A and B are shown apart, each in its own frame.
Chain A
């Protein structure tokens, strides 16, 4: 009886699936976003691979790019000035960076209690360039510049994706416009085949070599700046990467030895039992 009922239920599910299977499908129109989207570019970072580490000099250069270019629109709410000590800035340097930050920290006037601002100190998180989302959208053609704290982990491809976006701006291919005349990039947006729908609101952030002047003498080509800021954003998203790799290596060495001993113990205990 049970098997009979089960068979009926099984036939029910199978028939519903069969009907769904033979149903004709709506024809899917090809879309420009589907055909012209590109996977992220190949680029090598020092932190790639299981034993990778951050290049402190590169992170400092990347921070400079963030400070002078990105931070005009992008917040980084989860990273504090004090965290910069981890990428090789000294305490006084961090203090100076916080103090000179162009955006001040919301505060209150100690005498009147009215809203006011004050200079940042090392324990502050990076102040956001806009007071709120509405202000950010109003200033950016209704697009919201995403917070950068976790950007390198919140996108498929991570820092490689960020690098590809920054260096991926180009003019719209002629054959795209021929095949999809409706897909012309609207005014105010910018064609970038590494962006999911091909049209990104962010204008090209790095446009000329030497846009930032590196203090360590590295030549600030667009490619170099893009790599540096991508590396910096990876650090911002995953500051404990080096601890993680170090811990993993030590734990693995220990576990491999321990497991070898465990295997030996197992063989030894079983040596007189066929199994």
Chain B
């Protein structure tokens, strides 16, 4: 598309030629995911996760549309209608468990996708827009997942909704009226359930739209790669099809195997037992915990336990929780090191792995009850989280001595050998 060496679409099939003249859709596909999209030849398996996220969204939309045919978004009927799907709808248990665990798969895949971008500097120029749109997708996903979790109207649905919508009441002065207006009442009830259902059905299509923009923006500079070095010419790339379609085919297979293991053998492992109890506004569960993919953010929310600088603790927590995601929007400019890949950035690489461990610790703390030693561990972990993005990464970018970069992708792959290696098994020089 934008590469000077990108292939021009030259249809061989007369039908395709005819269609392409009227509507250049074949051309679009060819240049987006076909042989006309040159991709760096050295992408590793971490580059499979974008496609996998697309698969996960598709699974969610397809199962979700069928589930919506059987679901009743009414506070009195929702819980029993979900159980009706589990018991009486043909293969309803499969649809429902796929949708439930599909959300988890979507988040697992997207978290790996995000950390891939952080490690290899995919957020840096010229791909800032790809990154910004990605953060938008992530926010939309979180909103969608939260509202979806409310729909079965179990105990955790209800009390989770109570806690999350309570954030709005932390806004000074106008917090309470906004909270009531958003919920359509003083607490989550039928009005809230109905608007959540409506938005839960809408937002995945918004996500799909932003994904189109995300991929479009990606195709302007083309994909990043593990060296972070720009593509210099055709010897650095292979056509997306068949090279990466084949590799993605294998990735999709592994994804589906893990998905099947979850759905068919451990369908409730990632859920909470309390959500099999119908919502009861008069009985608060002992521990209110969100779904696992929100645990790190829940830990950040709860880490702020004192009023400080005239800001109440609750508002600190809410600001920090939203801030922990919003700061990602500024990352391309906070990290102005010209080197992308952490493979050539020894200091950043250490900070990256500390961040990975830190987020895992935050997840563990988010799931644990709010008591010692968990609270203090969470406070240290949250400190690192903010320090990492707002202090450490910008400083590293200024002072770090990076390793020498390879001259080109093909050089890093071939090490000066001939372009085409001998077939597998026939005398390889090293």
Residue ranges of A at the interface with B (Cβ–Cβ < 8 Å): 2-3, 6-7, 9-21, 23, 25, 28, 50, 78, 83, 146, 149-150, 153-156, 158, 196, 237, 239-240, 243-245, 247-249, 251-252, 255-256, 258-259, 262-263, 265-267, 269-275
A residues in contact with B250, CB < 8 Å: 259, 262-263, 265-266
Say yes or no: A6 contacts B253, CB within 8 Å: no
Task: Quote the shortest CB–CB distance from A190 to chain B (angstroms).
Answer: 20
Instruction: Provide the bound-state CA to CA distance between A274 and B429, in Å.
Output: 13
**Can you name the residue of chain A whose Cβ is closest to the Cβ of B382?**
A17
Complex Cα spacing A20 to B386, Å: 15
B253 touching A255, Cβ below 8 Å: yes
| Interfacial chain A residues near B129, Cβ < 8 Å | none
Q: Looking across the interface, which residue of chain A has its beta carbon closest to that of B372?
A: A25
Report whether B327 and A14 are in contact in the complex, using a CB–CB cutoff of 8 Å. no
**B246 proximal to A (CB < 8 A):** yes
Contact across chains for A269 and B242 when beta carbons are under 8 A apart = yes
Bound state CA distance, A28 and B97, in angstroms? 40
- Asked if B356 CB lies within 8 Å of chain A CBs, one says no
Where the two chains meet, the residues of B that have a C-beta atom closer than 8 Å to any C-beta of A are: 41-43, 80, 83, 86-87, 93-94, 97, 238, 242-243, 246-247, 249-250, 252-254, 256-257, 260-261, 263-265, 267-268, 273-274, 276-277, 286, 303-306, 308-309, 311, 313, 316, 320, 323, 327, 330, 333-334, 336, 371-372, 375-376, 379-380, 382-383, 386-387, 389-391, 394, 413-414, 417, 420-421, 423-424
Q: Show 20 residue pairs from A and B whose CB-CB distance is below 8 angstroms, ordered by the A residue.
A: A2-B333, A3-B336, A7-B390, A10-B390, A11-B390, A12-B309, A14-B387, A16-B309, A17-B380, A18-B379, A19-B308, A21-B376, A158-B273, A240-B86, A244-B265, A245-B264, A248-B260, A272-B420, A273-B243, A274-B414
With A and B bound together, what is the CA distance between A20 and B389 in angstroms?
20
Select which of B261, B323, B372, B417 is within 8 A of A13 by beta carbon. B323
Select which of B97, B261, B311, B334 is within 8 A of A3 by beta carbon.
Answer: B334
- Shortest distance in angstroms between A32's beta carbon and chain B's nearest beta carbon? 16
Nearest A residue (CB) for B331: A6
Contact of B83 among A83, A149, A269 (CB under 8 A): A149
**In this complex, what residue of B is CB-closest to A153?**
B276
CB distance A28 to B254 under 8 Å? no
Using A17-B379, A20-B303, A262-B249 as known contacts, say yes or no to A10 and B387 having CB atoms under 8 A apart: yes
The distance in angstroms between the C-alpha atoms of A275 and B424, with both chains bound, is 13
Q: Which of A18, A28, A155, A267 contacts B371 (CB 8 A)?
A: A28
Chain B neighbourhood of A19, CB < 8 A: 306, 308
Contacts of B421 in A (CB 8 A): 272, 274
Q: What is the interface of chain A mostly: helix, strand, loop, or mixed?
A: helix
Extra A-B contacts (7), CB below 8 Å, given A14-B383, A17-B383:
A2-B333, A6-B334, A9-B323, A13-B382, A25-B372, A248-B260, A275-B238
Q: Which A residue sits closest to B43, measured CB to CB?
A: A275
In the complex, which of the residues B253, B273, B323, B383 contacts A18, with contact meaning CB atoms closer than 8 Å? B383
A258-B253, A266-B247, A271-B423 in contact; A10/B389 too (CB < 8 A)?
yes
Q: How far is the CB of A29 from chain B (nearest CB, A)?
A: 12
Chain A residue with the shortest CB-CB distance to B424: A271
Point out the residues of chain B lying under 8 angstroms from A155, CB to CB.
273
Closest 3 CB pairs of A and B: A248-B264, A10-B390, A259-B253
Pick the most buried of A28, A146, A240: most chain B CB atoms within 10 A of its CB: A240
A18 to B384 Cα, complex, angstroms: 11
Number of A-B residue pairs at CB separation under 8 A? 175
For chain B, what secondary structure do more than half of its interface residues adopt (helix, strand, loop), or is it mixed?
helix
Q: Which residues of B contact A28 (CB under 8 A)?
A: 371-372
Most chain B C-beta atoms within 10 Å of own C-beta, residue among A13, A153, A154, A266: A13
Instruction: Indicate if the CB atoms of A265 and B304 lie closer than 8 Å.
Output: no
Q: Are A153 and B304 in contact (CB under 8 A)?
A: no
User: A275 with B41: in contact, given A25-B372, A266-B246 (CB under 8 Å)?
Assistant: yes
Residues of A within 8 A of B413 (CB): 274-275
- Determine if A255 and B277 form an interchain contact, defined as CB atoms under 8 angstroms apart: no
Known: A150-B276, A258-B253, A269-B246. A6 touches B390 (CB 8 A): yes
Look across to chain A and name the residue whose beta carbon is closest to the beta carbon of B377.
A21
Expressed in whole angstroms, the Cα–Cα distance for A249 and B42 within the complex equals 36
A251 to B243 alpha-carbon distance, docked (Å): 27
CB distance from B411 to the nearest CB of A (A): 11
Are the C-beta atoms of B267 and A239 separated by less than 8 Å? no
Interfacial chain B residues near A252, Cβ < 8 Å: 257, 260-261, 264
Q: Are B389 and A16 in contact (CB under 8 A)?
A: no
**A154 lies within 8 A of B387 (CB):** no
Q: What's the least CB distance linking A166 to chain B, in Å? A: 18
**Alpha-carbon distance A7/B316, docked complex (angstroms):** 17
Contacts of B94 in A (CB 8 A): 244, 247
A251 to B264, CA, bound (A): 9
Q: Do the beta carbons of A10 and B372 come within 8 Å of each other? A: no
The answer on a CB contact under 8 Å between B93 and A244 is yes
Q: CB distance A78 to B303 under 8 Å?
A: no
Closest to B263 in A: A248
Q: Do B316 and A16 have beta carbons less than 8 Å apart? A: yes
Contact A273 B238 (CB under 8 A): yes
CA distance A156 to B274 in the complex (A): 9
The answer to whether B93 and A243 have CB atoms under 8 Å apart is: yes
On chain A, the residues within 8 Å of B309 by CB distance are 12, 15-16
- Bound-complex Cα distance A6 to B334 (A): 8
Once the chains bind, are A20 and B253 in contact (CB under 8 Å)? no
The docked-state distance in angstroms from the alpha carbon of A249 to that of B268 is 18
CB contact under 8 A between A13 and B320, given known A3-B334, A255-B253, A262-B253: yes
Contacts of A6 in B (CB 8 A): 327, 330, 334, 389-390, 394
When the two chains form their complex, are residues A154 and B273 in contact, meaning their CB atoms are under 8 A apart? yes
Chain B residue contacts of A13, Cβ below 8 A: 320, 323, 382-383, 386, 390
- CA A227 to CA B306, docked complex, whole Å: 49
The reply to whether A266 and B249 contact each other, CB–CB distance below 8 Å, is yes
Nearest CB in chain B: distance from A154 CB, A: 4
Q: Which residues of A contact B238 (CB under 8 A)?
A: 273, 275
Interface centre among A10, A16, A266, A271 (most CB of B within 10 A): A16
Among residues of A, the one whose C-beta sits closest to the C-beta of B94 is A247
Q: How far is the CA of A272 from the CA of B421 in the complex (A)?
A: 6
